[in-house]
Amino acid sequence: MSGTALALAAASVSLGSALALVALPVRLGREVRRLRAAVDRLEGDLVVLADRSRRLADQAAVELERVGDVLESAEAVQTTVDAASRLTYRALGNPLVRAVSAAAGVDGALRRFFGRRERD
């Protein structure tokens, strides 16, 4: 190859490299703009999602308060029922035991009196 051909080849390579160096920043600029637009869209979506999450958390807190109120009411009812059952047991327990004992005694006496055998 002659010197002119080498110079022409070197010039072509240099021109191609120069064009690539010019085209590269232009292409990179386009990609950066696309990425920025995508980031902006994601940021907008995140703001909407964060707002929805906050509203849902507020609703959940309100519902938890309601559940707490229901549990407190249930505990109050349970306490009342426990107190009523204790009172009923105290009021009726001893007389019922006495009545059952008396009935058993009368039953045993009648069996002996009429000569029947006691049950097993």
Q: What is the mean pLDDT of residues 70-80?
A: 94
Burial label, 117 (beta-carbon count in 10 A; 0-12, 13-18, 19+): exposed
**Mean pLDDT estimate for the chain:** 87
- pLDDT at residue number 32: 94
- State in Å, rounded, how far the first CA of the chain is from the last one: 130
| Joined tokens for residue 94 | 């001893």
Q: What would you report as the CA-atom Rg of the chain, rounded to the nearest whole angstrom?
A: 48
pTM strictly above 0.85: no
- pLDDT at residue number 14: 84
CA angle at 90 for the pair 84 and 91, rounded to the nearest 5°: 85
- pLDDT at residue number 118: 55
Does the structure show a pLDDT above 70 at 84?
A: yes
User: pLDDT tens across 7-46, in order?
Assistant: 888 888 888 888 788 888 888 899 999 999 999 999 999 9
* Residue 13: alpha-carbon gap to chain centroid: 65
